[in-house]
A and B are shown apart, each in its own frame.
Chain A
Amino acid sequence: MNAELRADIEAHMALYPDSRSAALPALEAAQRVHGWCSPEAIEEVAEVMGVTPAYLAAVATFYDMLETEPVGKHSIYVCTNISCSLRGADALHAAVRDAAGDDPEFNVRSFECLGACDIAPMASVDGVFVGPLTLEDVPQLLDDIRAGRPVLPDKQLSTRLVADPNANSREFPAHPIEVGSTTDASGGGVSAPAQAPPAESVGGEGT
């Protein structure tokens, strides 16, 4: 096996009173080398750590970021949890998925809350948080990844000021959640704020 990977795993094992604690960092390291937690990757980690492959396979299947099937090299996690969905994340995810098509370079996933609701809707591109994203950003996002450039530099979270009250302000549509394939229901009248149920009837309901 790859000597660097072995050294990497051993270095992680040395950090803990019980070397088994290195399971997650070791699997992540193997995934970086192999592209996913393949049977070979798991065998290698098991050999270095002195645990069974079955044990590691059970661990790997528990965690969303450990891939148990072959995937594209570049991961694009589009957050589609509540706060991002309220700002159009479902449409964004669909647009990214469609634009990426069957390009084997990309691993497009809808992801649970990534902890960046201040830049909703957002995505994590190989670990880099970008947002707020519009549908118009999608082609450049993919182009940047393909070209190996920093992704959407002016939309990267790391450059944002906390105290700027307008850092994250922007327009967003009314009624953007698309909950499922069946939802003709929520398609009953998109985007016009005025079609919403009258506020007073909502606020006036008994509790």
Chain B
Amino acid sequence: MTEALLFKDIDEPGLATLDVYAKRGGYESLRKAFATTPEDVLAQLEASGLRGRGGAGFAMGKKVSFLPKGTIDKYLVCNADESEPGTFKDRELMQKSPHMLIEGLIIASYAAGASRSFIYIRGEYVHQADVLDAALAEAKAAGYIGENILGSGHSLSLVVHRGAGAYICGEETGLLDSLEGKRGNPRLKPPFPANQGLYQGPTLINNVETLATVPAIIRMGGENYAKLGTETSKGTKLVSVSGHVQRPGNYEIELGTPSREIIYGLAGGPPEGREVKCWFPGGSSSPVLKQEDLDLPYDFDAMAKAGSMLGSGAIIVVDDSTPILDVALKVAKFYRHESCGKCTPCREGTNWTVKMLERIDAGTATPMDIEIMASVQEHIIGNCLCVLGDAMAMPIGSLIAKFRDEFEEHIEQARARNGLGAVYA
């Protein structure tokens, strides 16, 4: 990989302080941005080809451009609710380099014309929220947050808002309701947040890593940034690798790096004598891939083409010592717990999926259970206000499709333990 952008100075002692961050060139990009117009900054963001790092992969510049022009109150919300199982990259950025996020956020607010901003951080990230609060106090004292920042005419307020434990608040409209002091139920879309978001005002919502990348884009220029990565997946990406690898952790890679190089090269692969059975390329919501997919380039399109997704960039590796039913149950139980209950297919579908998996495990299932379970997944997808239900249906559907033999074997063995007869000839 060429040069790390986000992790360049990540272990520098004191990087979380303004002093050290500034010595490392911090807030220079903000000055550079302020020397140009908001339109110029937007043009740089669009030229960079940066796609959202939170999961959906939507072009960031385009998202900014969706906000209406004019002097109405506009909001910028940073989604720091990082809760997708397997994902811990935003935590690293906020904890180690909070000013990089704040700088990116100010630049993005300038491009979008937003005057109020919020960082919605999950409540479990106590230390990271404290670090952000301290950095915010420094930024305010230095005049980076407040009225007429650095004489640019641009003003911005920023509040670090702590959540209280709910996966659904990572969904952007659930997040907005939560930020308004409500239960975090997703909203019907449209209207989209760009038109009617926080307090019904136009709102830009971006992930931590997306915003933290903005200073690098301004420093390098959008076109130079776009030289990194692949044709449709530009730049570098933080990848959280976890599960059955010898060196779990966060790695910054250039998009398009072969998946094998990440899982085996960087993260060390499974321990000796064990092999990759399956891997989630983008958090537990992504359909699983198998060993034969390891040579795919790790980027948005290659993952989509393989029937999965890059998601949040969280690779979870499962080795061949693990029964696939255990993986399915873990995943399904999580989504059952986190379903907000608003839409029937998700509320009931997650619950029934868990029940059917438990039947398999308990040795009371018949072949019909697999068929029903597979069809439940199909009936969830696309039928809810948000994608939480899909986020269970996609991986569970893929596990059934790719490991059907193992599910059947599990049914048979568990039944035999119960003294029940064989159901597969």
* A interface with B by C-beta (< 8 Å): 15-18, 20-25, 27-28, 58-59, 62-66, 77, 81-83, 85-87, 111-120, 124, 127-129, 157-158, 161-169, 171-172, 174-175, 177, 179-180, 182-186, 188, 193-199, 202-203, 205, 207
Known: A23-B181, A59-B183, A162-B11. A81 touches B161 (CB 8 A): no
**What count of chain B residues pass the 8 Å CB interface test?**
91
A207/B181 in contact, CB under 8 A: no
Chain A residues near B125 (CB-CB < 8 A) = 115
A169/B180 in contact, CB under 8 A: no
Spot the interface stretch: B355-363, B369-377, B385-393.
B355-363
A96 to B119, CA, bound (A): 33
B282 to chain A, nearest CB (A): 13
B199/A18 in contact, CB under 8 A: yes
A171 to B363, CA, bound (A): 33
A116/B88 in contact, CB under 8 A: yes
A-B contacts besides A66-B165, A158-B95, A163-B10, 8 pairs, CB < 8 Å: A18-B199, A20-B182, A66-B164, A81-B334, A86-B242, A115-B90, A162-B92, A196-B274
A119 to B243, CA, bound (A): 10
Instruction: List residues 280-303 of chain B with CB under 8 A from any CB of chain A.
Output: 284, 290-292
Known: A112-B83, A113-B86, A193-B273. A203 touches B250 (CB 8 A): no
Indicate if B219 sits at the interface (CB-CB under 8 A): no
A115/B87 in contact, CB under 8 A: yes
A31 to B340, CA, bound (A): 23
A112 to B91, CA, bound (A): 16
B271/A172 in contact, CB under 8 A: yes
Chain A residues near B83 (CB-CB < 8 A) = 112-113, 115
Chain A residues near B199 (CB-CB < 8 A) = 17-18
Closest residue of chain A to B250 (Cβ to Cβ) is A162
Chain A residues near B334 (CB-CB < 8 A) = 81-82, 112-113
From B91, B249, B318, B331, contact of A167 by CB (8 A) = B249
B123/A63 in contact, CB under 8 A: yes
Chain B residues near A167 (CB-CB < 8 A) = 249
B88/A27 in contact, CB under 8 A: no
Spot the interface stretch: B25-33, B62-70, B402-410.
B402-410
A115/B91 in contact, CB under 8 A: yes
B405/A21 in contact, CB under 8 A: no
A162/B321 in contact, CB under 8 A: no
Indicate if B320 sits at the interface (CB-CB under 8 A): yes
Known: A24-B178, A82-B86, A165-B249. A175 touches B322 (CB 8 A): yes
Known: A86-B244, A115-B83. A24 touches B163 (CB 8 A): yes
Query: Most B CB atoms within 10 A — which of A24, A66, A115, A186?
Result: A115
Indicate if B41 sits at the interface (CB-CB under 8 A): no
B347 to chain A, nearest CB (A): 14
Chain A residues near B124 (CB-CB < 8 A) = 65, 77, 111, 114-115, 124, 127
Chain B residues near A127 (CB-CB < 8 A) = 124, 126-127
Chain B residues near A117 (CB-CB < 8 A) = 85-88, 240, 242-243, 248, 314, 316
Chain A residues near B273 (CB-CB < 8 A) = 193-194
